[in-house]
Amino acid sequence: MDLKERVCDELQKEVPKGASSTNFNTQHQQKWEDPSSTLDYSTRIEPPFQAFNQTCQTQSLLLCNNQIKVPMQDGSINDLLQQASKIQDWDPSAMLNNLSFLEQKIHQLQDLVYLIIAQKGQVLGRPDELLVQQQQLVTADLTSIIIQLISTAGSLLSSVKQTLSAATTSLGQCGEFGGVVFPSSAQRLNDGVQPQNAGGSKVSEPPNSIDITSNNGNEQNNHIVEEHELKDEEDAEEGENLLPGTYEILQLEKEEILAPHTHFCTICGKGFKRDANLRMHMRGHGDEYKTPGALAKPTKESSSEPTIIKRYSCPYAGCKRNKDHKKFQPLKTILCVKNHYKRTHCDKSYICSRCNTKKFSVIADLKTHEKHCGKDKWLCSCGTTFSRKDKLFGHITLFQGHTPAIPSDEIKVAPAGTSDGATNKVGSVNFNLSSYVSSESEVQSSSMDIKGGIDDAVGYFSPLSFDTCNFGGFHEFPRPPFDDSESSFAFLLSRSCNYSQKSGE
Amino acid sequence: MLSFQSSKNVLSLTEDLLVRIYELLAAESDRKSFRLVCREFRRIDTLTRRHLRVIRIEFLPILLRKYPRLQSLDLSACPHIDDGVVSLLLTRVGPGSNSPILGHWAWGLKSLVLSRATGLRFSGLEMLARACPCLESVDVSYCCGFGDREAAALSSAVGLRELNMDKCLQLTDVGLAKIAVGCSKLEKLSLKWCMEMTDLGIDLLCKKCVDLKYLDVSYLKVTNESLHSIASLLKLEVLGLMACPLIDDVGLQFIERGCPSLKVIDVSRCEGVSSSGLIFVVRGHRNLLELNAGYCLSQELSTALLHQMKNLNHLEVIRIDGARISETSFQVISANCKSLVEIGLSKCLGVTNMGIMRLVSACINLRVLNLTCCHSITDAAISAIAYSCRSLVCLKVESCNMITEKGLCQLGSFCLLLEEIDLTDCCGVNDKGLEYLSRCSELSCLKLGLCTNISNKGLSYIGFNCLKIHELDLYRCTGIGDDGLEALSNGCKKLRKLNLSYCNEVSDRGLGYIGRLEELSDLEMRALHKITGVGLEAVAVGCKRLADLDMKHCEKVGDSGFWALAYYSKNLRQINLSYCGISDMALCMVMGNLSRLQEAKLVHLSNCTVEGVELALRACCVRIKKVKLFAPLRFMLSSEILEILHARGCIIRWD
């Protein structure tokens, strides 16, 4: 089943269920606890898109949100939020009020549970529906209590400068409840603080904030990925060996993969790649986004339930990373998907401005290359370049007859540039051949550009033709001493000679 | 001695017999006499001559034409060898020439010595390497400007077996990789002072050149990693690791397990190596022939090491300079290493008469013994040495003050094969001692520096008896005067190297005697205040082979002497004229006229002007390789001349 459809279904299901305003549905409940596990990438992408379009068209985002999300409203929470708003100003009486409310709520809950226990004997004959409903009610109430507790703690946090012992204890409590819930509740808190924003905006927040939370969770993952395994997302999971079926395979569409932004401002519609940037941006939209709660990085919640492992499939048919491939190897994260797709199935549109030869499809690759481009080029006689000397020496050790080219060799560099163009046609035969020669696994390695391929061809073949072709060492050291024009000519000659000989083989 | 009648018989000898006779002539001077006999002999010489050491470049084309069977060419003494000359030689005298006689001189060449050919660059080297397909041995040591490109040029000589690249300062791993890949048959490689080299290069070398038998990486900043690579060389016999500061005992552990053919190892002056490292080496290589561990055994020789050394039954050479050593250690060594030929105990602490007696009692084959700065040994030890080691060839007892004529008497009585003795700073040596010593008629090298108790009388014994002497050091022997030199010049006709510095009594008459020494090539006569231009002229006229002259502080020598020097000493290669009263004109003459001059020290020339020095430098700039100048001149000389000198690879030292 297509991921997107499935997710949409889920969302649709969610809406009518939530319509019974008295209770949260269980699924929703689950979201509170572990947003990242249930909400997946599609949901993350879709709503912002929607929001984006709407802002553009109607400029009535709040209303739209309202219409969509109103069913999710929970009256009791609304009350709580109003309570919380008072706490914001750190009023001991309000605090007491709040606590007493909590107490009251807990008692209510206790009563309810007693009731359920009492009913248990009577409901034998009846279907379990009521029981389920009651359970949901209980959990919903529990949730609200938790939220209340946390929002209290949040308010304490904002006014904690006096370092009241009470505040620290509630902070401690806050810690016990785990961080994921915290920002969303803080969001509510903010809503409460600004009653004039009122109604729609406020009530629209819960689902929205859930979204953001889940986004945050995911984004956080991605963020880490971006930092540590930006380059080799494909290698990163080679050793994983997940058994087929033990994980869930998700597949995004091309458009989703190539979308430039994944986080969108709900107010102005501006897109961002990172949630953190969005949060920074949100500060400009009002003081309510400046609270520590709103700015805090949502942390991942360690859920007690074992979550289903998610792996991703490339939408490109025939790709090894596509789930229909015989030797399918899944991609680990969304970012892996993005980088893989761009590197393997997209044009290399970023050209290094220094060497004008290396091309990249992922801008980070270009930046990495540019850091090293031009400086400390370790060049082999076969034309392959290395950024590190030990890599070059490893290469030379491996291949018979390869020698390092003398670095900072100005005389040589010039002819090499011209000759590559000139010999390209001659070498084209070899180039095709070379892609066969280079092992199949290398086909995917998009970082190797065409020039590298050609040079590799020389490299692969030169051992064969080395003895015959290497009269006077022109091939490996094409730099006769006398003058430049002669040397470049000689170089061309020897290179093309080399090529034709090989293509003749 | 050929009489007139028998000369007919000699001429009737067949060519192959003449060739055999010729080949038995070892000394260059004898060969010269041989080829001067007649045309036929000269023809034999040209046909059989394999080795050529060229001194003057102007004759090189003729010589190359004359000797078609040349296998070895030494251009190290030849100034201004550069790319142009090489190109000329190869095109005019090479395969491109029309004349069949001119061609092929490079084709048979197997060995090429280009040491100190600082004017040469990669292009010339590359031409040479390509023109000589049989090239097996190349020496480019002390070509300080050589680097990766020169190495790349050399790598086109694929048959290369021996390569000496000492002090090619610009050489890096890349150049070494070129050579390692290009010359995979390499058996002998010396990389001393190639300071840019790292483990990567050595590692690649060891992987590509698996036939290496000789590898010298002395003074390099290589680490134990390199030793790990080197340990994989199955054929390696000689390993030089002198003064590698980053090598330690852990690295030597690799050597213990690797290099199964190792015969010679030198770890002297390696700061990180201690007794335990040597234990690894000794334990892994029972057949070791030579162990050089000078100045890395600061503590006493550990008993564990001595225990391991018991197994080195084949050890011939051991040098443990600077170590602390006890008498019992001597006993262990002498009892087990019976085939020892050379022992180096220079600057060792704890060397006593008793220790030496125990040592030599069993080492009867000892030929070389170095006891430099073992201050506590006396005549007793020398007597024991003389009595036990009858085949002693070389004895160094510098700074052993307690040695007197008694010890020398024993040496003169028993060690009749003695060729070299260093008695520098042995105050106990007197004329009587020299008389005893002169009985060693094989003596060729005698060092008597700072022996102030010897006089002309003692020197005359040497002059009468030691006719084979070719090196004599009389530094600060203030008792020596002209009469001693007269006796010397009458007997020691083979003298090549003489040091007369600070022998204040020597005057022009003495130098006149020196002028009779035709073989003399190296003369040091600093601060001889009595000598004038007359004496210098006598030396210049008489010593045709003079190559190295140091006359610092000879202030009375006037221009007439320098004019004579400029006119006669065509073979002069190095000169020190510091603190001399040479004038501008004479300096220009000396520097310009001496076409072989490569190194000059010209500091504190009080009679010279800046213009004079500049002119002199211009006169010699094409061939000079090293020059020492008065520091303030740096800003007075024109930048042009300095640039020219620099471009020619000349090193300027400012003092």
Q: Which residue has the higher pLDDT, A491 or B381?
A: B381
Nearest CA in chain A to B199: A390
Cβ atoms within 10 Å of B412's Cβ, excluding its own: 23
Q: Which residue has the tokens 């010298």?
A: B216
Query: Would you call B157 an interface residue with chain A, using a CB distance cutoff of 8 Å?
Result: no
Query: Would you call B184 an interface residue with chain A, using a CB distance cutoff of 8 Å?
Result: no
- Average pLDDT estimate for B223-231: 94
Query: Would you call B207 an interface residue with chain A, using a CB distance cutoff of 8 Å?
Result: yes
pLDDT tens figures, B291-309: 999 998 777 778 888 888 8
Task: With both helix axes pointing from N to C terminus, report the angle between A61-69 and A41-58 in degrees, rounded to the nearest 10.
Answer: 130
Model confidence at B1, in pLDDT bands (50, 70, 90)?
very low
pLDDT tens figures, B507-537: 999 999 999 999 999 999 999 999 999 999 9
Query: Would you call A482 an interface residue with chain B, using a CB distance cutoff of 8 Å?
Result: yes
- pLDDT of B7 reads 53
Rounded CA gap, A426 and A497, in Å? 9
| Topology adopted by domain B544-654 | 3.80.10
- Average pLDDT estimate for B407-433: 94
- Average pLDDT estimate for B231-249: 94
Rounded CA gap, A218 and A237, in Å? 18
- pLDDT of B438 reads 94
Mutation target among B181, B184, B199 for the A interface, most CBs of A within 10 A: B181
Q: Which residues of A touch B200 (CB under 8 A)?
A: 389-390, 393
Model confidence at A157, in pLDDT bands (50, 70, 90)?
low
Name beta bridge partners: B90: none
- pLDDT of A277 reads 87
- Average pLDDT estimate for A140-161: 63
Q: Which residue has the higher pLDDT, A15 or B349?
A: B349
Rounded CA gap, A392 and A376, in Å? 11
CB contact under 8 A, A407 and B174: yes
- Taking 50 as the threshold, does the pLDDT of residue A459 lie above it? no
Query: Would you call B181 an interface residue with chain A, using a CB distance cutoff of 8 Å?
Result: yes
- Average pLDDT estimate for A294-307: 66
Please report the number of interchain residue pairs, chain A to chain B, with beta-carbon separation below 8 angstroms: 59
Q: Which of A389, A404, A480 has its CB closest to that of B178? A: A404
Task: With both helix axes pointing from N to C terminus, report the angle between B610-620 and B639-647 in degrees, rounded to the nearest 10.
Answer: 30
Query: Would you call B200 an interface residue with chain A, using a CB distance cutoff of 8 Å?
Result: yes
Diameter of chain A by CA atoms?
108
pLDDT tens figures, B96-141: 444 544 457 888 899 999 998 888 889 999 989 988 889 999 999 9
- pLDDT of A70 reads 40
- Average pLDDT estimate for B196-209: 94
Least confident of A16-30, A93-107, B79-93, B466-480: A16-30
CB contact under 8 A, A482 and B203: no
- pLDDT of A377 reads 74
- Average pLDDT estimate for B611-634: 91
Helix (H), strand (E), coil (C) string for A110-132? HHHHHHHHHHHCHHHCCCCHHHH
Q: Which residue has the higher pLDDT, B61 or B471?
A: B471
Q: Which residue has the higher pLDDT, A483 or B389?
A: B389
Rounded CA gap, A458 and B560, in Å? 69
Rounded CA gap, B267 and B248, in Å? 10
CB contact under 8 A, A393 and B203: yes
pLDDT tens figures, B119-131: 888 999 998 998 8
DSSP strand pairing (B290-292 vs B72-74): unpaired
Query: Would you call A121 an interface residue with chain B, using a CB distance cutoff of 8 Å?
Result: no
Model confidence at A487, in pLDDT bands (50, 70, 90)?
very low
- Average pLDDT estimate for A470-497: 35
What sign for the dihedral angle of Cα A370, A376, A382, A383?
Answer: positive
Contact B546/B568 with Cβ under 8 angstroms?
no
CB contact under 8 A, A403 and B200: no
**Residue A68 in 3-state DSSP?**
helix
pLDDT tens figures, B559-590: 999 999 999 998 899 999 999 999 999 999 99
Tokens of A225: 């990925």
For chain B, percent of residues with pLDDT exceeding 70: 96
Nearest CA in chain A to B179: A403
What sign for the dihedral angle of Cα A421, A423, A429, A432?
Answer: negative
Contact B85/B57 with Cβ under 8 angstroms?
yes
Name beta bridge partners: A313: A251
Give how far B173 is from chain A: nearest CA, Å: 9
- In 3D, which of B109, B57, B51 has the Cα closest to residue B79? B57
pLDDT tens figures, B457-498: 999 999 999 999 999 999 999 999 999 999 999 999 999 999
For chain B, percent of residues with pLDDT exceeding 90: 69
CB contact under 8 A, A403 and B155: yes
Tokens of B477: 């022997």
Nearest CA in chain A to B206: A397
Please tell me chain A's helix, strand, coil percentages from 3-state DSSP, rounded to the nearest 5: 65, 5, 30
- Taking 50 as the threshold, does the pLDDT of residue A72 lie above it? no
HSE-CB at A396 with a 13 A cutoff on CA atoms is 36
Q: Which of A407, A473, A481 has its CB closest to that of B123? A: A481
What sign for the dihedral angle of Cα B70, B74, B80, B81?
Answer: positive
pTM score, whole prediction: 0.63
Q: Which of A406, A476, A482 has its CB closest to that of B174? A: A406
Residue A276's φ and ψ, nearest 5 degrees, are: -60, -40
- Taking 80 as the threshold, does the pLDDT of residue B384 lie above it? yes
DSSP strand pairing (B72-74 vs B111-113): parallel
CB contact under 8 A, A481 and B200: no
- Average pLDDT estimate for B282-294: 92
- pLDDT of A303 reads 55
- In 3D, which of B122, B108, B159 has the Cα closest to residue B138? B159
Compute, in degrees rounded to 10, the torsion defined by CA atoms B462, B465, B466, B467. Answer: 120
pLDDT tens figures, B585-621: 999 999 999 988 989 999 999 999 999 999 999 999 8
CB contact under 8 A, B130 and A473: yes
CB contact under 8 A, B152 and A477: yes
Tokens of A122: 């009577």
Residue B268's φ and ψ, nearest 5 degrees, are: -65, 145
- pLDDT of A121 reads 53
- pLDDT of B629 reads 94
Least confident of A355-359, B174-178, B408-412: A355-359
Q: Give this complex's ipTM.
A: 0.83
Tokens of B544: 């045709």
Sequence length of chain B is: 655
pLDDT tens figures, A233-249: 444 444 466 777 778 88
CB contact under 8 A, B200 and A406: no
- Taking 90 as the threshold, does the pLDDT of residue B421 lie above it? yes
- pLDDT of A119 reads 66
Contact A187/A293 with Cβ under 8 angstroms?
yes
Contact A137/A22 with Cβ under 8 angstroms?
yes
CB contact under 8 A, A389 and B200: yes
| Rounded alpha-carbon distances, angstroms, from residue A278 to A209, A216, A218, A285, B351 | 13, 11, 14, 11, 83
- Average pLDDT estimate for A394-412: 76
Chain A, 388-427: which have a CB under 8 Å from a chain B CB?
A: 389-390, 393, 396-397, 401-404, 406-407, 409
Number of H-type helices and E-type strands within chain A: 21, 8
| Rounded alpha-carbon distances, angstroms, from residue A239 to A224, A320, A325, B290 | 19, 16, 19, 52
The per-residue pLDDT of chain A, averaged, comes to 58
Q: Which of A397, A473, A477 has its CB closest to that of B204? A: A397
- pLDDT of A114 reads 79
Residue B496's φ and ψ, nearest 5 degrees, are: -110, -30
Query: Would you call A481 an interface residue with chain B, using a CB distance cutoff of 8 Å?
Result: yes
Q: From its phi and psi, is residue A198 left (phi > 0), alpha (psi between -120 and 50) or beta?
A: left
CB contact under 8 A, B177 and A473: no
Query: Would you call A486 an interface residue with chain B, using a CB distance cutoff of 8 Å?
Result: no
Nearest CA in chain A to B208: A397
- Taking 60 as the threshold, does the pLDDT of residue B65 lie above it? yes
The per-residue pLDDT of chain B, averaged, comes to 90
Name beta bridge partners: B471: B445, B497
- pLDDT of A59 reads 43
Domains of chain B by residue range:
544-654
- pLDDT of A304 reads 57
